[in-house]
Amino acid sequence: MQLGLFNLMSYKDNPRGVQGVIEDMRSMVLLAEEIGFDTAWFAEHHFTNYSLSVSPLMLVAHMAGYARRIRLGTAVVVLPLYQPMRIAQEIALVDRLTEGRLVLGIGSGYQAWEFDRYGLDVETRSQQLLAHWQFISDALTQGHTQSPDRFGQPLRTDFLLDTLQKPLPPLYLTSSNPQLIAQFQRWQATPFFTAGYRGSHKLQQMVADARLGWQQAGLNADMPVAVQQYIHVTENRQQAHAAAERALFVARMIAALRENTSVSEQAFIHAPPLPDEPSLETVSHNLMIGDAETVAERMLVEIRAIRPSHYNCFFQFGDMPIADARRSLTLFGERVLPLLEKELGPLTLRTTRGE
C-alpha cells in the first residue's frame, strides 16, 4: 500500500491570504516527501474559495521544481472542462517535466457552479469524460488523432509529445460506476473513493457496494482501489474538535456547491450548517482524528476491511493553520507510521528502500 498527501487548498481564514494557501501547500508536500510519502495529489476546482487549485497539472509541474522524489498526482483533472487536443499535450509535457513522476487522476466533476461558468451541461459530464479520454488516450499512445476541422472535414493531427511513462502514467478514476470502470479496464485504472466528513464507516460501505456492483457486472470485484481520509493527530480534545470543525467547513461548501450555490463578490461560498449536522464529537470519531494510537488503530481497521492499494491522507483540510497541519503530519510520521508498519510492513519510500 502506498501513502499519498491530498492538497485541496481551500481558503477560509489564512492570515497570509491567497499566497499563504500556496505557501502552506508547498510546506506540506515537502514535509510529506521527507517522511517518505509516495505521492502528493492536487485537486481541481474553480471560481470559489473551496479550492485555489484551479490547475492540478500546473501545480504538479510547479512542485516538480521543489520536490525531488515524491510522485505528483492530479486528483483530478476534470476532463469535461478541457479541449482534449490541448490537455493531451499538457499531460505529455508534464510527465516529461517531472521526469516520469506524474500520476494521472481523472474524473467527470460534479459542481454545476463550475460547469455553468464554462458554458457546459453538468448532466452530460460522464459522456464527455469518455469522449475526451478516448481522444486523449489515442493521441498519447498512437501518436495521432482524427478530428473535424472548422468546416467539419476530417483532419489528422500528429503528436510529437508523448508521455515518458509507457504506455501512460498510472491512471486513477474518481468513479465506481461499473459501466465507466469497464471502459478504463485496458488502462488498469484504479478507482478512487472518499467519504468526506462521514468517515470510515461510510467509506467502507461505499467500497463494499462498489465491489458488489463490479461483481454483478462481470468485472473483477477485487481490483485495486484507492481511498482518501481526513487525518489529524492530536492528544488535545480541543484541537480535535477544531479539526472536526474544519472538516465540517469543507463539507458545508461541498453541499452548497451541489445545491443552490450562494457566492459573494469575493468568490466566498455561503455555506450554512448541514441539515442534521453531526456534532464535533461525532465527526472526530468518524474521521482519523485523535492521538497516534487511536489514529493507527482506526486506520488498521479500515485498511484491513478495504485493502486499498493507495491510502491518500488529507491533513490540511479547511485551511487549517499550517502549524497545526505540520504538527499532525510530523506526529503521523513519527508515531503513527511505526504502528502501521509493525502490522502492515513498509509503507514509505524510506522504509521500502531501507534509507
Mean pLDDT estimate for the chain: 96
Nearest CA among 200, 31, 233, 207 for reference residue 7: 31
Give the pLDDT of residue 257.
87
Q: What is the pTM of this model?
A: 0.96
Give the pLDDT of residue 354.
55
Asked if 309 and 2 count as a contact pair (C-beta separation under 8 A), the reply is: yes
Q: What are phi and psi of 312, to 5 degrees?
A: -95, 125
**Mean pLDDT, range 57-68, rounded to an integer:** 98
CA 317-322-326 angle, to 5 degrees, is: 90
| Three-class SS state of 18 | helix
CA distance 75 to 194: 11
**Mean pLDDT, range 182-190, rounded to an integer:** 96
**Mean pLDDT, range 31-55, rounded to an integer:** 98
Q: Which residues contact 297 (CB under 8 A, 6 or more apart)?
A: none
Give the pLDDT of residue 258.
82
CA distance 171 to 174: 10
Q: Give the pairing type, strands 144-148 and 154-158.
A: antiparallel
Query: Given a cut of 80, is residue 339 above it in pLDDT?
Result: yes
Query: Given a cut of 70, is residue 226 above it in pLDDT?
Result: yes
Range in 39-43, 206-210, 271-275, 315-319 the model is least confident about: 271-275
Q: Give the pairing type, strands 171-173 and 154-158.
A: unpaired
Query: Given a cut of 60, is residue 113 above it in pLDDT?
Result: yes
Q: pLDDT of 141-161, one tens digit each?
A: 999 999 889 999 999 999 999
Give the pLDDT of residue 23.
98
**Mean pLDDT, range 286-292, rounded to an integer:** 98
Query: Given a cut of 70, is residue 352 above it in pLDDT?
Result: no
Set of cell numbers at residue 180: 465507466
**Mean pLDDT, range 335-349, rounded to an integer:** 95
Query: Given a cut of 80, is residue 254 above it in pLDDT?
Result: yes
Query: Given a cut of 90, is residue 114 above it in pLDDT?
Result: yes
Confidence of residue 279 (pLDDT cuts 50, 70, 90): very high
Give the pLDDT of residue 351.
65
Q: Report which residue type is found at 258.
A: R
Above pLDDT 90, what percent of the chain?
A: 95
Confidence of residue 353 (pLDDT cuts 50, 70, 90): low
> Got the DSSP string for 88-130?
HHHHHHHHHHTTS-EEEEEE----HHHHHHTT--GGGHHHHHH
Query: Given a cut of 90, is residue 300 above it in pLDDT?
Result: yes
In the chain, alpha helices (H): 17-35, 56-64, 84-97, 112-117, 125-142, 178-183, 199-216, 237-258, 280-286, 292-306, 322-331, 337-344, 349-352
Nearest CA among 126, 96, 145, 119 for reference residue 46: 119
CB-CB neighbours of 51 under 10 Å: 20
Q: Is the model more confident about 32 or about 112?
A: 32
Confidence of residue 97 (pLDDT cuts 50, 70, 90): very high
CB-CB neighbours of 95 under 10 Å: 26
Beta bridge partners of 313: 5, 229
Query: Given a cut of 60, is residue 355 above it in pLDDT?
Result: no
Set of cell numbers at residue 288: 482519523
Query: Given a cut of 90, is residue 306 above it in pLDDT?
Result: yes
Judge residue 16's burial from the number of C-beta atoms within 10 Å of its C-beta, 0-12 exposed, 13-18 middle, 19 or more buried: exposed
Query: Given a cut of 90, is residue 259 above it in pLDDT?
Result: no
Give the pLDDT of residue 270.
93
